[in-house]
Amino acid sequence: MFDFAIVTSWIDQFLRSFLSAGWTLFVEFVLIGLVILALYAVLALLLIYVERKVCAFFQCRIGPNRVGPWGVLQSVADMVKILLKELINIKRVDPFLFKAAMFLVIIASICTFGALPFARGLQTIDFNIGVFYLLAVSSLGVVGILLAGWSSNNKYTMIGAMRSGAQLISYELSAGLSLMAIVVLSGSMQLSEIVNQQAEMWFIFKGHIPAFIAFVIYLIAGHAETNRGPFDLPEAESELTAGYHTEYSGIQFGFFYLAEYLNMFIVAAIATTMFLGGWMPLHIPGWEGFNQVMDFIPSVIWFFGKAFLCVFLALWVRWSFPRLRIDQLLNLEWKVLMPISLINILLMALLVL
């Protein structure tokens, strides 16, 4: 499989050939930042298009089909439209917190996105506490949501923010515990090490029943954390107009919209990394011919293929189930998922021993 470290090392050596060490680092930081932002924006546009087409398929419609071939440029047209929209000034809001909230949401999303291992040798930063970093940084988004609801000076946005805060804080526990089960299995929090340990067999198979239970719980909890249906109570249109971002317009609303779709991809990418081998190909012990064929598929295709499969599962769930009530949503977490997660970690520890 191609190692992207060859490309990154060549770029580093090329820059060092005519720049000092300090300027080389600065240029590399800028290049990495631009690549991450560009990939972030392109993935958001792609996910919006994919959701519209998948939604149309489930509802026996065609979906976007006018702008560009098969409607692929519809998301680009919507992006241009939202950039040109007027920013409406709302009276009696807290101006600083109102504007800071959207940046907190998008920064938490980008910082999480930047730590993902996309392919062999293609990772921005590889912490030895990578899992802890992902959990810590991704949880900052709830601060932006609470600030957006409170600073808007609107009772509907406040209710949406309170619902979202309760939902995110609750389901983060089950998501974190399910990831901890894999940390127990791998003995490491470093994402590259976790991926490397799945070279022969993915953890969802190697970890037996506890790993599969953790995978299912993580998908449910991660889906709830992204405020997607049937867990979309913070944005229940029939009750709260649009939830915590009701008062936002133009690009300010666009930031929340962007972060929501990328958070869906981030949840799928973390599930891919922790349970489905990351960029590792599918290997079956004893099937050497099959394994060699799988090795010919580039690692970046493996990663994004698995991630988009998880995204498709999330969209399937969203367009198949009705919205839960708030008591049902919290009961599912505290009375069902949480106890199962705690017992599952114990089972995983026994399996490892």
- Residue 165: predicted pLDDT: 85
- Which residue from 275, 278, 264 is spatially nearest to 212, judged by alpha carbons? 275
| Cα–Cα distances in angstroms (integers) from residue 348 to residues 67, 185, 189, 200, 299, in the given order | 50, 7, 16, 19, 28
For 313-327, the pLDDT digits (tens) are 999 998 888 888 888
Do residues 211 and 203 touch, judged by C-beta distance below 8 A?
Answer: yes
| Crossing angle between the packed helical segments 130-138 and 155-186, to the nearest 10 degrees | 170
- Residue 180: predicted pLDDT: 94
How many helices (H) and strands (E) in the chain? Answer: 16, 0
Does the N-terminal peptide bond of residue 285 adopt cis geometry, omega within 30 degrees of 0? no
The full set of domain ranges for the chain reads 94-352
Question: DSSP alpha helices (H): ranges in 187-287?
Answer: 191-196, 203-206, 208-225, 237-240, 250-275
- Residue 237 binned pLDDT confidence (cut-offs 50, 70, 90): low
pTM, whole model, 2 decimals? 0.91
Residue 9: half-sphere exposure toward Cβ, Cα within 13 Å: 5
DSSP state of 232: -
For 74-107, the pLDDT digits (tens) are 989 988 998 888 888 888 888 899 889 989 989 9
For 139-168, the pLDDT digits (tens) are 888 888 889 888 888 888 888 888 888 888
For 121-147, the pLDDT digits (tens) are 888 888 889 899 999 998 888 888 889
For residues 192 and 136, what is the distance between their CA atoms, to the nearest angstrom? 18
- Residue 267: predicted pLDDT: 93
| Crossing angle between the packed helical segments 250-275 and 95-114, to the nearest 10 degrees | 30
For residues 221 and 48, what is the distance between their CA atoms, to the nearest angstrom? 22
Q: For all residues of the chain together, what is the average pLDDT? A: 88
- Residue 19: predicted pLDDT: 85
The percentage of the chain sitting over the pLDDT mark of 70, rounded to a whole number, equals: 97
Q: Which residues lie below 8 Å from residue 38, measured CB to CB, with a gap of 6+?
A: none
For 178-204, the pLDDT digits (tens) are 999 999 999 999 998 999 999 888 999
- Residue 236: predicted pLDDT: 65
Q: Which residues lie below 8 Å from residue 173, measured CB to CB, with a gap of 6+?
A: 333, 338, 341
- Residue 209: predicted pLDDT: 92
In the chain the first and final C-alpha atoms are separated, in Å, by 33
- Residue 21: predicted pLDDT: 86
- Residue 273: predicted pLDDT: 94
Please compute the mean of the pLDDT values over residues 290-312 and round it to a whole number. 90
- Using only C-alpha atoms, the chain has a radius of gyration, in whole angstroms, of 21
Place of tokens 């440029």: 73
pLDDT at 311 > cutoff 80: yes
For residues 166 and 227, what is the distance between their CA atoms, to the nearest angstrom? 11
Please compute the mean of the pLDDT values over residues 57-69 and round it to a whole number. 88
3-state secondary structure of 285: coil
The percentage of the chain sitting over the pLDDT mark of 90, rounded to a whole number, equals: 37
Q: Which residues lie below 8 Å from residue 223, measured CB to CB, with a gap of 6+?
A: 231, 267, 314, 317, 318
For residues 32 and 36, what is the distance between their CA atoms, to the nearest angstrom? 6
Please compute the mean of the pLDDT values over residues 9-13 and round it to a whole number. 89
- Residue 240 binned pLDDT confidence (cut-offs 50, 70, 90): low
Phi, psi of 122 (to 5 degrees): -120, 75
For residues 135 and 178, what is the distance between their CA atoms, to the nearest angstrom? 12
For residues 162 and 234, what is the distance between their CA atoms, to the nearest angstrom? 8
3-state secondary structure of 130: helix
DSSP state of 243: G
| Crossing angle between the packed helical segments 21-58 and 95-114, to the nearest 10 degrees | 100
pLDDT at 239 > cutoff 80: no
Q: Higher pLDDT residue, 277 or 235? A: 277
